[in-house]
Amino acid sequence: MAYNFKDISVLIIDDDKTMKVILANIFKAMKVKECFTAQDGEQGLQLFKTHKPDIVVTDWSMNNVDGIELTKAIRAHNRTTKQTTPILLMSGHTSMELVKKALDAGVTEFLSKPFSVNDLSTRVGYIFSKPRDAIDTQGYYGPDRRRRNVQDFDGPDKRKGEKDDN
């Protein structure tokens, strides 16, 4: 499926200069409206607040502020502005424990390295074609971590009055 990215702005945060250039070139080839880059999470958070991008693409492992700390800072900012900016976290470490940690921090999607241009464009397209509702609880603010509604679930954590969004 082809996606049109001409109306979105992207913030890329990666301390690997080569990866940052590659990602910026991929997004430019995808014809995004604007592409901002940052060398670490600290600079990325400042650019996020200044430019208010439509999506953040960040590496997990960075010096100073890593991708998880950055996600938590963005989600804290989003909570005050009532926004849920999508965050795509990239990592070569893909154990279920680490993916769960990323999702619990408020990451919208996880992209394992190495990836292809098609993997990246498909994941970004999915983020915008199937946006997730924002969840605001005492211990979490960010996208709904569930991808689907399980109709036959009847446990204590079932949300009351949820709609079928399959």
- DSSP secondary structure, 72-94, as one string: HHHHHHHHHHT----EEEEES--
Q: Which residues of the chain have pLDDT under 70?
A: 1-2, 147-166
pTM exceeds 0.95 = no
- Identify the pLDDT of residue 155: 61
**Cβ–Cβ under 8 Å, residues 110 and 91:** yes
**Cβ–Cβ under 8 Å, residues 48 and 81:** no
- Identify the pLDDT of residue 67: 95
- Identify the pLDDT of residue 153: 59
Domains in the chain: ranges and CATH: 10-143 (3.40.50.2300)
- Identify the pLDDT of residue 63: 87
